């Protein structure tokens, strides 16, 4: 059944129960206008909802009922029959609701009988002539029913029964639920034998009442809960699985109180556990364990009561999308998954609006018009994906569209115009950071933004609302492919998991939601903290991560010295909490990490709320109060200071970015001479070819093939000796073609496996001859083939000249792997080359070799690379320096040029490097070529 | 004690302005008893680094986190830092639905005074005080400044950096 309908059933059942009760009260006290107003409102609501949901039969009934009640409001006398009529109407409605609940649709049939009677009542007629009101019994007759307060307006007619009789008939019937619905309203059809036994019992009773009355409307109460009996077959007839009976409505306030109490209980339990830890009393342990267990279950249970499937917030969205689709003339499909994911209702309430915003944005601005989409090679139908999932203790909600994505340049321009950043700063920002501008308050208020960036309406609202509930928003945009907004939310608001850390003798809590990992640094190890222009950075997995020391940030250094516990001397092992907040990654240095604890987050005093470093406070198990750090707040001071202060820190940022740019490179995976996978960076391979083996000739022990009108030698692998033996001459031989300066060289391989995009981490310690090392790709060790051996001009030195003479190009490359790659490349290009492993060596060799160009790998030294460039300039070397980075993002190039680099080239951009070299060597390039040749 | 004074004291009992007397840097200060929630001694207090200097810290008061403010700093009466008492006393004040604790150097009796024995604040007390000083009570031996706590907390919002 449709969720909406389900909710309607539950809600309406409740409303009806209230109306029932209220009506009864009303009847006793007809002058109570408050009661009347309540009844009217409820019936009105039911009517309205029915109309909305397309339930004409119910609507019709409710409408008629409403008219009568409205009459009461206008001062018409409240008569017992009128009330009974209404009650009956309500029973009928209940019957229909029960049917809907079971079958998901309104049952067949009509309620003209009731409606006519109700209309008659509403119009003030006693009741139509042919259908005289029968039950206006009361006083005149010997009635004593509970409904007997009403004055009978006329005498009982011949063919009428008293109300009392009617009532008795009702009571004798097995209950309204047991009585068949159907056409029993009409006397003739009442004894319908087609139904089950329960009905048989009901029928006579109903008949008693019905027979004596020609009044359709008063046939009996059997009109009430009919289908249940008809189908259930049993007297009770209540569908055991009925939605309305399964759930109990509890006020949110009650749940919130329960939750608060459970939170306190959790705290108390934590306190007890703490005491037990200290005492180590065995008697305590087992009951405490039990208490702990029960508390946890209770906590789960209470949290469960607050949980709602997130889908309930989505139902509205499909409607929104449908409307927008029509309005905008776009074809939009809303695809949802994970609608059953449960989420704290309070959270749900708070993200409803952000969700709506995001979906509307996606439909309005993200998706293109159908013709645009088709032109872009996309299906005309735009798709918005709504996904929800529970992942490791958080709720992840994602709104993804397959539209045009966000134009970063426009966002950047807009951000600069709005004063959110400066041109210089913007150039240094990562895509992710630029993207985040659309969530800045100052950004979206500018109304023109919708036309300009295509996005941004209300995104600041989205962010603030999500952050308010302790969540984080992430944006991912792929140009032309769409935008994905991901919201990560805690499972519940009240209790959060936190890391308890200590800095300078004071404990703090850091919410787990923002913690990515914990790292112990070592002075001399792989992971260490280094200073870049006074700023600490952590070298973690070859990436530089800005780090801040909590004690410094909070000005605790003094206290640290005081309490004698003595700060950790610089360089000593440190603990770093690596946080990922809002697109920023950074580390927070702490003295120690104590444990994790479920904490009840209490808001911080209004007097401290302006402090962005704290998000709240909590009471720990031992009763002490600790502050909850807001990592974004702690980081903000870093980020802010870096943009405020001079170049030093901005370069630190650049360095971090350089590090972050250690992007992925394409590797060709193949097999040759063994089962192990081998790899060569794709950039070094000219072409992939397949030759018929019969075409491969053997000239003087060397394999050659005719290729583009020339003979191309084919190097076998691993040795040429095995070549040509045992091959099926009919089959084709895959060959990797390498371009050399003036010719091609082929390399025969057994099989070309794949091209993969990976972040290469090369372990050169395992280099064996013919390889430059091994890398792990998809968990498998892959040998990286030493291309220099294969493509270096025959007879030339493998590692390039290290002569004392002047050289054209000095390659400063710390990585053996890249040395092995670049040296042959540059030599092949005809340059006299010297290769050095570090900037120190470069400095030493500079004076002697006087290179015309320096090629410097910037990935490793990062910031120092720029310092080196400056030093060279200061020392009077005017040789242009070409920087090599893993990925030459435009802004990096710009930055690099600002730092004095001649050019920045991507490491795997072979042509780019050669082009830049040629350009740098300028006019005398040709001579150099000549010399080299 | 002159007869005049005695008469005033008698009246004071009748008029019944009840003030909790506290001392800050030697100065006697009266806090209206109606705005004082309770008085408690502070045990383990968690400092709030980087907060306004008037914020002494946070304490766990019967399961609730209460922000402790230093009354002396709030009044700008501190020449040096707050004396490092072992378990300082604080006056609990409720303001805008939140409970604050105000640390004082010393806490005295509750005095019943009459408005008659008081005067408006002398002009030379300084502008910063006018906002939260109600009046000055002329006691037998010394003067007591009656402070409007709520006005004081209001002012503090502005001061907090």
| Choice between A99 and A891, residue whose per-residue pLDDT is larger | A99
| Choice between A799 and A673, residue whose per-residue pLDDT is larger | A673
> What residues of chain A, 80 to 109, have a C-beta less than 8 Å from chain B?
none
Cβ-based neighbours of A907, under 8 Å, separated by 6 or more:
A665, A683, A818, A857, A859, A884, A885, A886
CB A401 within 8 A of CB A362: yes
CB-count exposure of residue A773 (10 Å: 0-12, 13-18, 19+): buried
Residues in chain A: 933
Are residues A223 and A132 both part of a single domain?
yes
Chain A closest CA to B59's CA: distance in Å?
6
pLDDT of residue B82: 66
Residue of A nearest to B59 (CA): A625
- Least CB–CB distance from B55: residue in A264, A608, A623: A608
What's the whole-number mean pLDDT along residues A333-350? 83
What's the whole-number mean pLDDT along residues A681-702? 74
**Strands across the sheet with A472-478, in order?**
A332-337, A382-391, A394-401, A482-490, A472-478
pLDDT of residue A493: 65
Count of domains forming chain A: 6
Q: What is the pLDDT of residues A860-891, one digit of tens each?
A: 666 677 777 777 777 777 778 888 876 666 66
Are residues A670 and A599 both part of a single domain?
no
CB A560 within 8 A of CB A567: yes
- Least CB–CB distance from A624: residue in B46, B55, B156: B46
- Per CB-CB distance under 8 Å, the chain A contacts of B103 are none
Q: Which of A432, A465, A490 is the last residue of a domain?
A: A490
CB-count exposure of residue A585 (10 Å: 0-12, 13-18, 19+): middle
Are residues A694 and A676 both part of a single domain?
yes
CB A741 within 8 A of CB A828: yes
Most confident of A539-548, A675-684, B55-64: B55-64
The list of chain B residues with pLDDT below 50 reads 1-14, 158-161
What's the whole-number mean pLDDT along residues A155-179? 53
| Yes or no, beta carbons of B58 and A614 under 8 Å apart | no
Q: What is the pLDDT of residues A125-143, one digit of tens each?
A: 654 433 343 433 333 333 3
- Least CB–CB distance from B48: residue in A267, A624, A627: A627
What residue ranges in A843-926 does DSSP mark as E strands? 853-857, 881-885, 903-906
What's the whole-number mean pLDDT along residues A805-827? 74
pLDDT of residue A168: 59
| Yes or no, beta carbons of B157 and A602 under 8 Å apart | no
| Yes or no, beta carbons of B50 and A554 under 8 Å apart | yes
CB B30 within 8 A of CB B40: no
- Least CB–CB distance from A554: residue in B46, B49, B98: B49
Are residues A688 and A643 both part of a single domain?
no
Percent of chain A with pLDDT over 90: 1
What is the distance between the alpha carbons of residues A343 and A337, in angstroms, rounded to a whole number?
15
| Bond preceding residue B96 cis, omega within 30 of 0 | no
| pLDDT higher than threshold 90 for residue A631 | no
With CA atoms as reference, report the closest residue to B52 among B108, B11, B100, B1. B100
Q: Please compute, for residue A8, the number of CA atoms within 13 A of its CA located in the half-sphere on the CB side.
A: 28
CATH number at residue A753: 2.40.50.180
pLDDT of residue B58: 92
Are residues A40 and A176 both part of a single domain?
yes
| Choice between A244 and A314, residue whose per-residue pLDDT is larger | A314
pLDDT of residue A779: 64
Q: Which of A747, A773, A790 is the last residue of a domain?
A: A790
Are residues A674 and A648 both part of a single domain?
no
Tokens 């970063």 belong to residue? A408
Residue of B nearest to A621 (CA): B63
pLDDT of residue A509: 93
pLDDT of residue A204: 44
With CA atoms as reference, report the closest residue to A845 among A814, A796, A805, A881. A805
| Yes or no, beta carbons of B55 and A613 under 8 Å apart | no
- Per CB-CB distance under 8 Å, the chain B contacts of A623 are 44, 60
Chain A closest CA to B42's CA: distance in Å?
12
Grouping H, G, I as helix, E, B as strand and the rest as coil, residue A59 is helix
pLDDT of residue A203: 42
Chain A closest CA to B90's CA: distance in Å?
17
What would the CATH number be for the domain defined by B3-159?
Answer: 2.40.50.180
Both structure tokens of A93: 């409605």
β pairing state of A625-629 and A614-619: antiparallel
What's the whole-number mean pLDDT along residues A524-535? 72
A625 to chain B, any CB pair closer than 8 A? The answer is yes
Secondary structure in 3-state letters for A144-186: CCCCCCCCCCCCCCCCCCCHHHHHHHHHHCCCHHHCCCHHHHC
CB B37 within 8 A of CB B94: yes
Q: pLDDT band at residue A156, thresholds of 50, 70 and 90?
A: low
| Yes or no, beta carbons of B48 and A613 under 8 Å apart | no
Q: Which value, to the nearest 10 degrees, does the dihedral of the CA atoms of residues A721, A726, A732, A736 take?
A: -20
Are residues A699 and A806 both part of a single domain?
no
| Yes or no, beta carbons of B46 and A625 under 8 Å apart | yes
> Which contacts (CB < 8 Å, 24+ apart) does range A103-107 have?
A104/A1, A104/A2, A104/A5, A106/A55, A106/A56, A106/A57, A106/A58, A107/A57, A107/A181, A107/A227
What is the distance between the alpha carbons of residues A342 and A522, in angstroms, rounded to a whole number?
43
CB-count exposure of residue A930 (10 Å: 0-12, 13-18, 19+): exposed
**DSSP code string of A870-892:** HHHHHTT----EEEEESS--HHH
Please give the interface size between A and B, counted as residue pairs whose CB atoms are below 8 Å apart.
60
Are residues A284 and A231 both part of a single domain?
no
What's the whole-number mean pLDDT along residues A433-458? 55
Are residues A636 and A723 both part of a single domain?
no
Secondary structure in 3-state letters for A77-138: CCCHHHHHHHHHHHHHHHHHHHHHHHHCCCCCCCCHHHHHHHHHHHCCCCCCCCCCCCCCCH
Most confident of A363-377, A666-680, A788-802: A363-377
Q: What is the pLDDT of residues A641-678, one digit of tens each?
A: 443 333 333 444 444 444 444 445 667 888 876 667 78
| pLDDT higher than threshold 90 for residue A831 | no
pLDDT of residue A627: 92
* Mutation site for B-interface testing, chosen from A625, A628, A637 by largest number of B Cβ within 10 Å: A625
| pLDDT higher than threshold 80 for residue A306 | no
What is the distance between the alpha carbons of residues A111 and A94, in angstroms, rounded to a whole number?
13
Q: Which of A453, A472, A490 is the last residue of a domain?
A: A490
**In degrees rounded to 5, what are phi and psi of residue A398?**
-130, 135
> What residues of chain A, 526 to 565, have a C-beta less than 8 Å from chain B?
554-556
| Yes or no, beta carbons of B67 and A626 under 8 Å apart | no
What is the residue range of A648's domain?
495-657
Are residues A675 and A770 both part of a single domain?
yes
- Least CB–CB distance from B63: residue in A610, A611, A619: A619
Residue of A nearest to B160 (CA): A607
Are residues A650 and A676 both part of a single domain?
no
Q: pLDDT band at residue A762, thresholds of 50, 70 and 90?
A: low
Grouping H, G, I as helix, E, B as strand and the rest as coil, residue B116 is helix
| Yes or no, beta carbons of B60 and A619 under 8 Å apart | yes
Neighbouring-strand partners of residue A448: none
With CA atoms as reference, report the closest residue to A360 among A462, A452, A489, A445. A462
- Least CB–CB distance from B46: residue in A556, A611, A626: A626
pLDDT of residue B126: 66
Are residues A28 and A177 both part of a single domain?
yes
């Amino acid at each position: 059944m449709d969720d909406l309908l389900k909710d309607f059933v539950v809600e309406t059942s409740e409303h009806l129960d209230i109306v029932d009760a209220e009506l009864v009260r009303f009847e006793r006290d007809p002058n109570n206008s408050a009661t009347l107003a309540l009844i009217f409102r409820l019936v009105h609501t039911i009517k309205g909802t029915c109309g909305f949901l397309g339930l004409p039969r119910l609507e019709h009934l409710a409408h008629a009922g409403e008219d009568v009640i409205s009459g009461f409001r206008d001062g018409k006398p409240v008569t017992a029959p009128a009330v009974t009529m209404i009650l009956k109407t309500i029973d009928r409605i209940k019957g229909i609701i029960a049917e809907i609940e079971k079958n998901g649709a309104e049952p067949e049939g009509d309620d003209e009988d009731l409606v006519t009677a109700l209309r008659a009542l509403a119009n003030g007629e006693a009741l139509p002539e042919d259908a005289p009101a029968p039950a206006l019994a009361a006083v005149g007759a010997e009635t004593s029913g509970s409904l007997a307060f009403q004055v009978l307006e006329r005498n009982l007619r011949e063919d009428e029964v008293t109300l009392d009789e009617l009532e008795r008939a009702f009571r004798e019937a097995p209950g309204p639920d047991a009585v068949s619905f159907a056409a029993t309203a009409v006397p003739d059809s009442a004894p319908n034998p087609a139904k089950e036994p329960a009905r048989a019992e009901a029928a006579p009773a109903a008949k008693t009442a019905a027979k004596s009355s020609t009044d359709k409307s008063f046939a009996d109460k059997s009109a009430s809960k009919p289908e249940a009996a008809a189908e259930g077959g049993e007297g009770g007839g209540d569908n055991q699985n009925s939605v309305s009976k399964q759930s109990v409505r509890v006020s949110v306030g009650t749940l919130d109180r329960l939750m608060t109490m459970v939170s306190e209980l959790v705290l108390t339990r934590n306190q007890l556990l703490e005491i037990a830890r200290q005492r180590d009393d065995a008697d305590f342990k087992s009951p405490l364990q039990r208490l702990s267990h029960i508390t946890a279950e209770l906590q789960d249970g209470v949290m469960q009561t607050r949980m709602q499937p997130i889908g309930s917030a989505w139902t509205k969205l499909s409607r929104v999308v449908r409307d927008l689709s029509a309005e905008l003339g776009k074809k939009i499909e809303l695809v949802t998954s994970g609608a059953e994911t449960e989420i704290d209702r309070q959270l749900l309430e708070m993200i409803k609006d952000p969700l709506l915003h995001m979906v509307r944005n996606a439909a309005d601005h993200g998706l293109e018009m159908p013709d645009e989409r088709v032109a872009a090679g996309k299906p005309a139908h735009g798709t918005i994906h709504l996904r929800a999932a529970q992942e490791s203790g958080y709720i992840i909600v994602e709104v993804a569209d397959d539209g045009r994505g966000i134009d970063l340049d426009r966002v950047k321009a807009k951000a600069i115009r709005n004063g959110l950043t400066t041109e210089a700063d913007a150039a240094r920002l990562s895509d992710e950071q630029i993207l985040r501008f659309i969530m800045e308050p100052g950004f979206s208020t500018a109304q023109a933004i919708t036309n300009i960036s295509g996005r941004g309406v209300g995104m600041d609202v989205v962010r603030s609302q999500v952050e308010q509930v302790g969540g984080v928003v992430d944006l991912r945009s792929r140009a032309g492919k769409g935008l994905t907004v991901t919201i990560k939310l805690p499972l519940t608001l009240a209790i959060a998991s936190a890391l308890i850390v200590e800095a300078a003798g004071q404990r703090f809590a850091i919410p787990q939601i923002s913690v990515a990992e914990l790292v112990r640094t070592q002075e001399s190890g792989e992971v260490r903290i280094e200073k870049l222009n006074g700023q600490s950075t952590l070298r973690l997995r070859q990436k530089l991560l800005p780090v801040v020391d909590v004690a410094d940030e909070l000005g605790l250094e003094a206290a640290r010295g005081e309490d004698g516990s003595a700060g950790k001397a610089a360089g000593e092992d440190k603990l770093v909490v690596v946080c990922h907040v809002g697109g920023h990654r950074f580390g927070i240095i702490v003295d120690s990490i104590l444990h994790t604890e479920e904490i009840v987050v209490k808001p911080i005093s209004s007097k401290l709320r302006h402090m962005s470093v704290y998000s709240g406070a909590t009471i720990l198990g031992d009763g002490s109060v600790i502050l909850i750090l807001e990592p974004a707040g702690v980081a903000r001071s870093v980020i802010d200071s870096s943009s405020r202060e001079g170049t030093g820190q901005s370069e630190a940022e650049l360095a971090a970015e350089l590090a972050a740019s250690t992007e992925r490179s394409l590797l060709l995976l193949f097999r040759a001479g063994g089962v192990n996978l081998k790899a060569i960076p794709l950039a070094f391979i000219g072409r992939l070819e397949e030759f018929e083996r019969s075409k491969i000739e053997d000239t003087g022990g060397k394999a050659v093939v005719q290729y583009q009108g020339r003979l191309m030698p084919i190097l076998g692998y691993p040795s040429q000796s095995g070549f040509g033996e045992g091959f099926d001459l009919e089959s084709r031989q895959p060959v990797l073609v390498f371009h050399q300066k003036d010719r091609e060289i082929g390399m025969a391989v057994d099989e070309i496996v794949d091209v993969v995009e990976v972040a290469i981490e090369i372990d050169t310690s395992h280099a064996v001859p013919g390889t430059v090392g091994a890398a792990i790709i998809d968990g498998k060790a892959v040998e990286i083939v030493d291309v220099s051996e294969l493509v270096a001009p025959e007879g030339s030195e493998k590692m390039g000249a290290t002569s004392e003479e002047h050289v054209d190009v000095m390659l400063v490359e710390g990585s053996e792997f890249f040395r092995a790659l670049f040296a042959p490349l540059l030599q092949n290009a005809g340059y006299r080359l010297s290769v050095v492993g570090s900037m120190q060596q470069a400095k030493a060799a500079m004076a002697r070799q006087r290179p015309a160009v320096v090629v410097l790998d910037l990935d490793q030294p990062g910031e120092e690379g720029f310092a080196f460039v400056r030093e060279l300039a200061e020392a009077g070397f005017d040789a242009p320096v070409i920087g090599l980075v893993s990925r030459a993002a435009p802004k990096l190039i710009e930055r690099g040029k600002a730092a004095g680099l001649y050019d920045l080239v991507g490491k795997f951009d072979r042509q780019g490097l050669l082009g830049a070299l040629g350009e740098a060597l300028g006019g005398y390039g040709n001579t150099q070529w000549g010399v080299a040749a | 004690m002159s007869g005049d004074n005695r008469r005033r004291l008698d009246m004071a009992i009748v008029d019944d302005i009840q003030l909790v007397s506290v001392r800050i840097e030697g100065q006697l200060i009266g806090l209206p008893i109606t705005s004082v929630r309770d008085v408690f001694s502070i045990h383990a207090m968690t400092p709030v680094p980087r907060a306004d200097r008037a914020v002494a810290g946070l304490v766990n008061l019967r399961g609730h986190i209460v922000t402790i403010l230093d009354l002396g700093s709030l009044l700008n009466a501190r020449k040096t830092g707050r004396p490092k008492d072992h378990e300082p006393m604080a006056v609990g004040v409720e303001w805008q639905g939140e409970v604050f604790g105000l640390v004082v150097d010393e806490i005295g009796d509750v005095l019943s005074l009459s408005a008659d024995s008081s005067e408006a604040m002398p002009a030379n007390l300084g502008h910063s005080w006018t906002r939260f000083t109600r009046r000055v009570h002329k006691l037998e031996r010394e003067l007591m400044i009656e402070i409007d706590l709520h006005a004081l907390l209001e002012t503090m919002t502005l001061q907090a950096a």
